[in-house]
Structures are given as C-alpha cells and as structure tokens.
Structure 1
Amino acid sequence: MKVHLLHENTDFDTAASLPPQTDALMQDLDLDILIRAMSDDDKYLAEVAKSVLFQSLLEKDHILYRQEILQDAIDNEGPLRDLYALANEAIEAKRHSWFSMFGAYPSSILYGSVRLLQMYVPILEQLRKWTKQYQQLFRSRGLRRFCLMIQEELNDDYMKNLVLYLKELQFIDGVMISAGLKAGNEPFQYELRKPHRRDPNWIRRLFSPRTPSFTFSLDPRDEAGGRALGELRDRGINYAANAVAQSADHIENFFKILKQELAFYIGALNLKQHLVSLGEPYTFPIVNTDPVPTFECSGLYNICLALVANKAVMGNSVQARGKHLAIITGVNEGGKSTFLRSVGIAQLMMQSGLFVPAQSLIADIRSGVFTHYRRKEDRNLGSGKFDEELKRMNTIVDLMGPNSLILFNESFASTNEREGSEIARYIVSALLEAGTKVFFVTHLYTFAHYFQEQASATTIMLRAERRQDGSRTFRIVMGAPSQHSHGEDLYKQVFTEAL
C-alpha cells in the first residue's frame, strides 16, 4: 500500500538532507516562528514541517497536487484529523506493546508478528470504514486515489482471509511439517503444511476412514529431546515466520508514512487556525510558468510578524511582472526588512504546496531561495564585517543554481558608500546575467540610482512610505531612491535627541 499524499508517484523522504542554506533562512526569515505555529509545540509536527518546507517543489503540477489535497483538508478538517489520529494509534500500539520484542528464533518471530497483525486488524477495519464514509467528500487526486487504493487492497475477501490465516498461524492444534530424507535418513527441505480442515459434521468425522499415522511422545524431563523438537519446529516455520514478519513490517511502515505525510497537512491546518483567529487572509498562490519573471501580490504580509505580534499586520501590493530586480529603499524602520521577509517566506510556502499569507499572489518557481543579511562583527576579530560579507557571498554563489531567488538586506553597507555601491553593482549584475531574481533592501543610493538609470525596464524601484510629518505607514510603494532619506533620518534622530 502506497500513501503518496505529498508526491503523486513516490513517498516523501524526511531523512533527505536539507539544503545548505537552511540555517541562514531559518535565522534571516524567522522561520522558527512559522514552524512553531504549524506544530503547536508538537516536536514531530515541527520536524515534518521543516523538512517539507525546505524541500521545495520545482514543478507546477507537483505544487498543485499538494494544494488540492490541502484544500480538501481545509474543507474536511475533522476527517483528516481523525485519519491522522488513526495512524498515530497504530504506531503507538506497536510502541507500547511487548510484541515488538520478537526475539531471534522463528517461533518467537512468528508469535510476535501474528499478535502484531491481530492488533492491526481492527485498525485496518477502521481505516476501511473511514474511506467508505468520506471518500465522496474529496476532490483532490491524492485523497481520491488513497481511498480507492484502500478499498481495493483491503477488500472484504482480504480481511476475511487475513483473520482466518492469523488464527491458523497460532497452531492451536500443533504444527504440520513435511521433510525429505537424504542418505542416512538425514531430513532436509523442511516445509510447513496447511493443517487439515476438520469436517464440521461430527458424524462424518466419526465414520470417515483415518489416515494411518505414527506418533511418539517425549518424557517431560527430556530436555535434549525438547530442544531438538523445538529446532525441528523452527526449521519448519522459518519461511512462514519471515513472511508474516514482513507483512507486519509492511503495515507498520504504511502507518508510519501515513502519519508522516498527513503531519504536513495537520501543520497547515494548525497554521490556518492561527491566521483565522488573527483575522489575516490566506490564499493559494498562482504558479506562473511563463518565461517572463513574475512577482505580483496583493496584501502580502509577514506571517511570522503577525504570529509574534498576535494581531493583523500591514500588507503590501506589488506588481513586478517582467522585473528581475527589486530595489527597496527609504526610511529606517519603515517596513523594508519586513517586506523582504514576506517575499522569501511566501516563496518557500508556495513551493512546499502551502497557502501564502496574502490576498493574492502570482509568482514563478525558483530553484532555490537564498538570503544575504547583515551579521554581527566577528567576536574573535578574525575578520571585519565587510570581509565576512564577501566570504559569505562567495559561499552563497557556490551553492546557487540557475533561476534562484536571493534576498539582500543592507548588504555591503559596512564600507563606504562608493565602494559598497560598486561591489553591490558588480555582484547583482552577475547574478542577473545568470537568471537570478534579486530583491535588495539598501541605503546605497549610488547603487540604486545606477540600476534605475541603466536597467529601468527590468528593475522595479520600491520605497518605504513616509508621511510629511515623518511618521511611517509601514507600506512599501513604488518610488525612486532618495539621496537624502537615510541621512535625514539620522540627522533628526541625533539632533532631536541632543536638544
């Protein structure tokens, strides 16, 4: 049985290594807040959410496949949570049962496997009942296929035979084994035989001819004979023990994978509940597959900020179709970094199959998401801020593939304005030539002005809005960079405080 609720044709691998930039993204985008909201402090949900979030999907149909299942989960939250609880019940039953200690002998392996399968039978029956009850509610390819698969593979005949075989494998009337004899009457080719079914009519049993047989019995004190008989029994049931153990493992793994893949959708439902309680919008993004780079959003907000503030926060609307570069300038504490984080978070959420924190979003698929944010100065004085920025940029470039997305936040501002602008210009120009989409928050006027003049057709200029009285709206709007905005802020801050 195959779950296939995260990928259409394969199981999800949580053991796969995460991208090298994971730690930087966690730090720069505050993603621990998002994962904590999805998990509701459940460690298992947090691990799955992080693994899925960073293993980005790179095909539109794969993203739509998850979106369909998540929409089904939102429309039928109760049944999906019931299915997750059922999978968890199966796993916990095995974990809390001593039957998991099968031992090394075929007889103990068979005994433990049979008992484990008997424990799974009522849970499998509940799973069959669940699919029959809810399969008509689902519209997604994934959940409809899952329900159909359960109905076909766990049909009435299968369940009836399963119960019957498990009863026979308890060998209440003893074990029937056949063997051949080699030279010297040495036995070989041990085979377990199906016991004769007793005729339910006792009159026919009484008068039917009997097969001649020979019997022997062991003295209760014959320990060597008991061991020999036990070894003979183990040889006969060895293949059966292995087959039953594999069947038990198969069902156990099925429930483990089912729980694992459902955990992502349970995390999404938890996140949706947080957003609903805050009155914040969410939507499934439209995946753009045109060759023209696209990022168009309405009401896009920083979901991590909203979760921390526990209230609705300002959203932004940007139309950046055909733009490879977005430069965001303007006043300090005006919402530039917040907007930058909202872009990166939305990209990761979209490519994991999640809804996004916005009223609407159209974006293209990126092969990877990277961040280059300012860091604190090296405490060991091994290098200054500027050297550290360049070294980190070199590492990022080695990791980046074509068609990536990178977010710069006040990068290369630790040197003078002229040198920082030149370095930023050369780096960004090279990234754009490689097909990378760039969002750059900066106070480097020379850098921003260069791209405004030289690449206006493929560059969008954004600014943090400020009213005439100097107050912030925390909105990002279209606007050319100002040569004095940062200096004016610093002047007012220093001299107002001095007065």
Structure 2
Amino acid sequence: MKAFLMFKDRDFDLQTEIPAHASALIQDLELGTLLGAMAQGDEFLFEVSKKALLSGLENDVETILYRQGILTDCLKHPSVIRELYDVALGAITGEKKAYFLSYLAKYPGSILSRSIEVLGMFVTLLERLREIADEHMDVFESEGLKRFFAMVQTELDRPYFARVRSHLRELKFEHGVLVSAQLGKGNKGTRYILRRSQEKRQSWIDRIFGKKPPVYILNIPPRDESGARALSELRDRAINLVANALAQSADHILSFFTLLRTELAFYVGCLNLHDQLDQIGEPSCFPVPMAVGGRRHAFEELYDIGLALSLKQKVVGNDGNIDDKDLVIITGANQGGKSTFLRSVGLAQLMMQCGMFVPAKSFVCHLCDGLFTHFKREEDVTMKSGKLDEELSRMSEIVDKLRPHSMVLFNESFAATNEREGSEIAEQIVSALTEKGIKVFFVTHLYEFAHRFAGKKMKNVLFLRAERDREGKRTFRLVEGEPLPTSYGQDLYNTIFGIPACST
C-alpha cells in the first residue's frame, strides 16, 4: 500500500538531499521561525517541513497543484487529517514499545510471539483507518486524498481483516505445533516442515472414547532440561520460516505507517502554521505557479511571514507587478522594509514551490530552478580574509551552483569596500547573471551602482524605493522609484537637531 500524498507516483523520501547552500537560506531568510511555527516543538514535524521546503525547488507545476489540492482539503477538514496522523503515529510508537520489551528476542518462538502482538495492534489501527475512510471519503475533493481513501477501502475490506485475525489465532499454536521431518545422515533430523493441524472439532465423548490414530508418544520428565531444550529447538526449526515471514509482514505494514506519517506530517505542519496566521489575522492564499522559464511575478499584500510570526501581529505587506523583469533594484533608507521585502520574496518562492499557501492576498509567479541568497555578514574572528574577499568567495560558490532559471537575492552585498569599487563589482556580477537568464533582486545603498542601471533605461529592470510619507516617516512599503543620491540625510537631520526636516 502506498499513500502518495506528496507525489502522484512516488513516495516522499525523508533522506532526500537538500541543497548544499541550505544553511545560507535558513540563516538569511530566517527559516527557523517559519519551521518552528509548523513544528510546534515536534522535532519530526520540523525535519519533514524543512526537507519539504528546501527540496521543493525540484517540483514541477503538476506536483505543486497536486499538493495544493490535498492541502485545500486538509484546511477544510483538519480534524480528520490530524486523526489520520495520530493513527500512523500510534502504530509507530506501539511497534517501538513492543520491540523495546522484546529487543533480546533471538529465537524463532520469541520473534513469532512479538510479530503476532505487533500485527494484532496494526490490524486494529488499520481497521480504524478503514472506518475513517468510510466516514469521510465523500467530503474530500482532491485527487490525492480521494485516491488514498479509495485504496484503503479496496485493500482493507472486511474479508481481509477476518483472514488476518484467523491466521494470527492459528499461529499462536494454542494446541501445539504439528511438524513433519525426515531422517538424514547420522539419523539427524532434516526437512522440518510446519503442518496445519487437521483436527476436527469433536464432542467430549468422542475425544474420550473415540478411536484415535496410532501414535508414538515420548514424555519428557519435568527435570530433564536437556530434553526440554532439544524439544524447544525442534519447535524453533519448524516455525523458523513462519516467524520470519510474519516479521517481514509486520515490517511491511510498519513501512506503510511510517510513510503515511511522514507525508501527513507536512500537511499537519501546514495546518499548524495556518492556525497561527488566523490568530494573527494575516491573509494567505494559494499561489498560481507558472512553468520554469517564464517571467510572471505579481502579488498583492505580500508580507514577511517570519516577522509576523515573531511579532505575533499583522505586518505591512507590499503590492507589486514584476512581470517580464530580470532585475529588481531596491534602495532607500535603513529600516524602511527593504530586507523584510527581500525575505518575503524568498519565503514565498520556497512556500509556493513546495505546494504550500503563501503569505499574501494573491500571488502568481514562475518557478525557478534554484534560489540563492547573498546577504551581508558581520565581520568576525573566524574570517580568514577581509570582508570583501569573504563576499566574493561566497559569490563564487553561488555561481558554481547556478542553473539557467535560478533566482538570486542580494542584500547590501559588496558594500565592504568604497562606493566606486563596490558599484563596479556589483554591476559586473549582476549584468553577467541577468544575461544568463538569472532573476536578481538587489537591496543596496550603492547609489552609483543603482544609478548606472537607471541611466540605461532597460525595460527588464524595475526600481523600488522604501516609501516615506509627507512627514518623512517610514511606511515600510516599497514603491516604484529610481534611486536617490542619499537615503539617510533626513534621518541625520532628525537625530542631530531633534526636529523634523523641512520638505522641499
């Protein structure tokens, strides 16, 4: 049995490798806050959410829409999804408990006993899974969940459960073990075969007075330890194959519950996150993913979900239409919302490509083959060279991993040197990237760099600027506008003189 809740035709592999630059994405986009909200303190949910988010850049449009359909159903019927998750989790924890209690079991008899116990528990949980399918299948609309419940109803019917329970009762060998064997060389036993008992139910009169077939009976004295040991070894030889087969059956069902739990964990994490956004009052929507290679990128009220979760309150969002743009240059005063906007772009891209809702009222965007961040780093004693060398080294590592339709987010990069040199480096790097079809967002205070691109009047370049109101206060929104020679003179005036600067 397969759940197929993450992909149409394959399982979600928790051992999937995440991008080599994942640590930079986690640090720069502050993914820990988002993952913490999804996990709610559960390490397994955290790990699954992390793998799903960071491996989602490999997904195609069909996979994204497949997950969106399932997640839509999950949001409509969260209690059912959480119960399914609890059933899978109960199977895994129950098996671990049974294993812990019999971890020294080495003999076929012990293995058989443990397997019967575990399979009995599994059957009870599978029956509950069937009950959930029967009760709720009709209310689900997504392809993935309808197929899952249909599979449960087909594979787990009443005759199946009856056969399994009958076999488990028989394998307890309450009336002894019937074994056939042959004599081999040296009169040693060989070809031990477990036989099904052919005894028919008889009345007590028949059992006492009825004619019995001739048999040879050997009674072992109570104190004959060697004889008892030999008899036990004979029994173990007979049931060895059955014990192994039953253990394999238990492992097979356990693997189903393990995969089911893993794939449901992603959706439970999404439910946890959605609940918190609802409490804050922040909007979310299912994005419209476009095929790789396009240049669609438009959104309404896009906000930094990490900031909203940290503050536990609504934050300012941005509207934007970046269709047909290869480069977005963002300038303006410090603490005006530039870095926050950059993070919101990166987080929304990751969330969209792994099949989640995104933090916006509406969002449409093309897929990218890779997402990279190049944020400024604080200088520390571990650096083996200067800050600029460190930035160029990280840039070189990014270039080695880039693919034609990637996206790169720069945050105040190459500002460790003077204005002229930093602008020259930034211009050459950005020009090379955009020529190769890489989409670039660049937050900068390098006026010369931004001014050079503004002078070129390129149609595929968009300029955004941190907005101020008439009184000079930050609105934390970004508006279209070419770079200004200075972004912080007004702040200095207010700081030095303690009065609002006069507008001209």
TM-score (norm 1): 0.95
Structure 2 alignment gaps of length 5 or more: none
Q: CA deviation at 1:491?
A: 4.1
Q: Aligned equivalents of 1:214 and 1:14: distance in 2?
A: 57
Aligned counterpart, 1:8: 8
Contact 1:403 1:435 in 2 (8 A): yes
User: Partner amino acid for 1:256?
Assistant: T
Contact 2:292 2:405 in 1 (8 A): no
Aligned counterpart, 1:58: 59
Contact 2:60 2:291 in 1 (8 A): no
State the Cα deviation string for residues 226-254 of structure 1 (Å, max 9, x = none): 22211111111111001000111112222
Which of 123, 127, 130 lines up with 2:129 in the alignment?
Answer: 127
Which of 365, 368, 378 lines up with 2:367 in the alignment?
Answer: 365
Bigger mean CA deviation after superposition, 450-459 or 298-307:
450-459
Contact 1:289 1:364 in 2 (8 A): yes
User: Partner amino acid for 1:397?
Assistant: V
Which of 98, 113, 128 lines up with 2:115 in the alignment?
Answer: 113
Q: Aligned equivalents of 1:14 and 1:461: distance in 2?
A: 41
Task: Give the 3-state SS of the residue equivalent to 1:214 in structure 2.
Answer: coil
Superposed, 1:174-189 pairs within 5 Å as 174-189=176-191
Aligned counterpart, 1:69: 70
User: Partner amino acid for 1:64?
Assistant: L
Task: Give the 3-state SS of the residue equivalent to 1:96 in structure 2.
Answer: helix
Task: Give the 3-state SS of the residue equivalent to 1:164 in structure 2.
Answer: helix
Q: CA deviation at 1:434?
A: 2.4
Contact 1:330 1:443 in 2 (8 A): yes
Bigger mean CA deviation after superposition, 297-306 or 150-159:
150-159
Which of 459, 462, 465 lines up with 1:463 in the alignment?
Answer: 465
Contact 1:327 1:439 in 2 (8 A): yes
Q: Aligned equivalents of 2:285 and 2:395: distance in 1?
A: 34
Contact 1:99 1:113 in 2 (8 A): no
Superposed, 1:191-210 pairs within 5 Å as 191-199=193-201, 210=212
Q: Percent identity?
A: 47
Task: Give the 3-state SS of the residue equivalent to 1:190 in structure 2.
Answer: strand
Contact 1:295 1:319 in 2 (8 A): yes
Task: Give the 3-state SS of the residue equivalent to 1:192 in structure 2.
Answer: strand
Task: Give the 3-state SS of the residue equivalent to 1:485 in structure 2.
Answer: coil
Task: Give the 3-state SS of the residue equivalent to 1:326 in structure 2.
Answer: strand
Q: Aligned equivalents of 2:493 and 2:234: distance in 1?
A: 93
Mark the CA change 1:404 to 1:415 in structure 2 (over 3 Å): closer, same or farther.
Answer: same
User: Partner amino acid for 1:43?
Assistant: E
State the Cα deviation string for residues 187-241 of structure 1 (Å, max 9, x = none): 3222211111523667887897644332212122222222221111111111100
Aligned counterpart, 1:91: 92
User: Partner amino acid for 1:263?
Assistant: A
User: Partner amino acid for 1:48?
Assistant: V
Aligned counterpart, 1:19: 19
Mark the CA change 1:419 to 1:77 in structure 2 (over 3 Å): closer, same or farther.
Answer: same
Q: Aligned equivalents of 2:335 and 2:430: distance in 1?
A: 24
Which of 236, 240, 251 lines up with 1:249 in the alignment?
Answer: 251
Q: Aligned equivalents of 1:272 and 1:45: distance in 2?
A: 15
Mark the CA change 1:339 to 1:100 in structure 2 (over 3 Å): closer, same or farther.
Answer: farther
Q: CA deviation at 1:453?
A: 3.3
Mark the CA change 1:427 to 1:197 in structure 2 (over 3 Å): closer, same or farther.
Answer: farther
Q: Aligned equivalents of 2:89 and 2:14: distance in 1?
A: 17
Task: Give the 3-state SS of the residue equivalent to 1:432 in structure 2.
Answer: helix
Aligned counterpart, 1:81: 82
Contact 1:53 1:352 in 2 (8 A): yes
Aligned counterpart, 2:35: 35
Contact 2:290 2:364 in 1 (8 A): yes
Aligned counterpart, 1:216: 218
Superposed, 1:278-427 pairs within 5 Å as 278-289=280-291, 291-380=293-382, 382-427=384-429
Q: CA deviation at 1:459?
A: 1.0
User: Partner amino acid for 2:304?
Assistant: N
Contact 1:368 1:404 in 2 (8 A): yes
State the Cα deviation string for residues 322-355 of structure 1 (Å, max 9, x = none): 1111111112211111100000000011111110
User: Partner amino acid for 1:72?
Assistant: D
Bigger mean CA deviation after superposition, 101-110 or 276-285:
101-110
Bigger mean CA deviation after superposition, 120-129 or 294-303:
120-129
Mark the CA change 1:460 to 1:89 in structure 2 (over 3 Å): closer, same or farther.
Answer: same
Aligned counterpart, 1:231: 233
> How many residues matched?
498
Aligned counterpart, 2:156: 154
User: Partner amino acid for 2:87?
Assistant: L
State the Cα deviation string for residues 27-69 of structure 1 (Å, max 9, x = none): 1111111111111222221122112111114210111111111
Q: Aligned equivalents of 1:263 and 1:280: distance in 2?
A: 23
User: Partner amino acid for 1:71?
Assistant: T
Q: CA deviation at 1:433?
A: 2.4
The answer as to 2:450 corresponding to 1:443 is: no
Q: CA deviation at 1:450?
A: 2.4
User: Partner amino acid for 2:256?
Assistant: F
Mark the CA change 1:67 to 1:498 in structure 2 (over 3 Å): closer, same or farther.
Answer: closer
Task: Give the 3-state SS of the residue equivalent to 2:369 in structure 1.
Answer: coil
Q: Aligned equivalents of 1:280 and 1:46: distance in 2?
A: 22
Q: Aligned equivalents of 1:191 and 1:69: distance in 2?
A: 49
User: Partner amino acid for 2:18?
Assistant: L
Task: Give the 3-state SS of the residue equivalent to 1:129 in structure 2.
Answer: helix
Q: Aligned equivalents of 1:434 and 1:400: distance in 2?
A: 10
Contact 2:270 2:356 in 1 (8 A): yes
Q: Aligned equivalents of 1:494 and 1:264: distance in 2?
A: 48
Mark the CA change 1:489 to 1:395 in structure 2 (over 3 Å): closer, same or farther.
Answer: farther
TM-score (norm 2): 0.94
Contact 2:293 2:368 in 1 (8 A): no
Q: CA deviation at 1:451?
A: 2.3
User: Partner amino acid for 2:142?
Assistant: S
Mark the CA change 1:413 to 1:493 in structure 2 (over 3 Å): closer, same or farther.
Answer: farther
State the Cα deviation string for residues 387-429 of structure 1 (Å, max 9, x = none): 1111111112122223111100000111111111111111111
Aligned counterpart, 1:136: 138
Contact 2:293 2:367 in 1 (8 A): no
Structure 1 alignment gaps of length 5 or more: none
Bigger mean CA deviation after superposition, 142-151 or 218-227:
218-227
Q: Aligned equivalents of 1:474 and 1:118: distance in 2?
A: 60
Q: Aligned equivalents of 2:234 and 2:409: distance in 1?
A: 69
Bigger mean CA deviation after superposition, 183-192 or 409-418:
183-192
Contact 2:326 2:434 in 1 (8 A): yes
User: Partner amino acid for 1:53?
Assistant: L
Q: Aligned equivalents of 1:173 and 1:366: distance in 2?
A: 66
Q: CA deviation at 1:75?
A: 0.6
User: Partner amino acid for 1:267?
Assistant: G
Q: Aligned equivalents of 1:289 and 1:329: distance in 2?
A: 30
Bigger mean CA deviation after superposition, 277-286 or 175-184:
175-184
